[in-house]
Structure 1
């Protein structure tokens, strides 16, 4: 039997917070978000039964209240499909920033009026939603959303639920997406008949099996990756943390982490030592600190017949750039002490890991209580080597087909010095 961890979730919507239940089985295949019908909640026994069965089939599930307690008393809001759809859209955004599920394919399960909300949300979140299931739903309430829907949708209706069955047949005709109508013989609107809900579960699981396929991992930008990492680190609750970023790309990743932890943000100045003629090929890395250090990629050095003197000469140029950046970014400000603290070391990703290896060694010399390595993405072999230099590691993705860090970002623009300076200025009071 698949073990499932269920935790309370709080979907934040500006000043409001909607309570939910996030259940994650071991090695989940996808995430299914539930949209309950009118007068229901995250504790709906029918949706809970469906969710439990999907968990057993390997799917993570998120059940949450679409309305606050106060809003649920207003019948106009209970049947406000646009409002419910917007809440579901925000829940999808929330889930995409949770490190436990952000990389999974997403599906929606809507019951009764919640089915219409699920359709509207799938239209808005077209690139995020892979499949939709409607149980005893009112898809007709989605209006033009039926024609705009791109995700394949399964309509499940009780054979004795005559009025709703006609609504679903009509809705199916308006859909341009792939559809299927599954009629459960002898079942009424709530599927209370013996075995009826079991057939709903079976049909839904098969639909998600067909369409919830692994999705390519891509962050919108560095700050988005930082927000996902921040959630993971907040749950670890490191004591007295300090966040160190590798400039320049690591700074916008580290800033959301430092905000979430209430920690100071400082820099670890490390530079890749590229080979002549191929600067992207890392011969090693130079890192500043109380003692300057050079980390050599011995496999490349041996293969290309580099002598120590040549490596020292190449490293000297990188140390000069490190000194330039120190003056620009930090001026005369002393480093933030790591002594006895939880040091969180962050970059936007690693390829060979040479610069990060140098950075971790430099931080270790500062006598932290522990080092937490935090990365959005890294190839498995590089990460394994780096994990030996940290006490804890949080890495969101370790893809086997790794060609460069930039392939995992939609926006991977060059970070300029001015952006680094502005970001550090935000945290100057915490130094």
Structure 2
């Protein structure tokens, strides 16, 4: 796989071009903010790479425009820049024979639709993630490429107008609503669902002959999260005499952790983490706040410097997210304080690792609570991401690290989103067991 920075057009737009060997097509992945600093959009690009597609991760804003909040909503400007990127790809000898798809997120979704509506673009497939496609207006009727619109089921007032606008006159087109997801798709499993739908769509319409990628035929190892937890428990029995504490990342990690805690006769608790969003760009994380006996705040100093985030904003955002953490603990645990971990073996559990951003913050915050050992336990993970945790924990137990990884959900037959009611019930049952 080859990767490098590129400059596009007279404006010198920044992009990151990634080309796997024998690429099945090329997807331009665009967001209405700096692509390098939009990790959720960048993760979609990486999952598309894992499924055999070349990607051009595109900054629709130039660096000097980052402080201009007005330009974020200039969809026509973004569409013209996206069109320039299409023509740039057509002019590159190594890329010109690849079919081109567009993936747009947020305001980039509208830009992708407007670009695909332009004559002579020859776009082969479009995926729009949120972003109020109704703002594209009459241009929607001119989009001839197969188009997939992905909406969050809890995206409030955006859902109804987006549904009404998406009356695509040509087939094929589809609309997918991700239950429980909001505008940013930051809920557990939501981004993985987006990546899976996008990958499937591009496999269908960009790959020569429309065939799916080979990874689709890999066996699914887990029936559901509880099944994965039982298998994980068997792999962790060597820790039963180490006075362990099992810490789950809610919500998806709780059913897995419940089985582990039951088998190891260990207390079950949560490790609560919240992303610190950038000013006017909540999807962009400038760090994370981690609950614990001593407060752990982890900042991405590079992004903080790049965006010139004021200290006062960081303190205010920290307080806001800490209040959210405290509210979630009250909902899940009735306000009970965290289980002490100092001097004990802390087993950190999630249902899988795709990007590892939140988990990395959780581990850094946990380390400040001075456990004797930290064990990372997950049923499935992207191999390259898993390897990056080797120096951050004392032990890793992972049952599956597939070579062609595109989402955590690919390793579960049932990956239904874990509900708050299930989390509350499992935590209550674990506490009752400990009391008994």
Q: Could you state the TM-score of these two structures normalised by the residue count of structure 1?
A: 0.46
Indicate the structure (1 or 2) with the bigger Cα radius of gyration.
1
Higher RCO, 1 vs 2 (CA within 8 Å, ≥6 residues apart): 2
Q: Could you state the TM-score of these two structures normalised by the residue count of structure 2?
A: 0.46
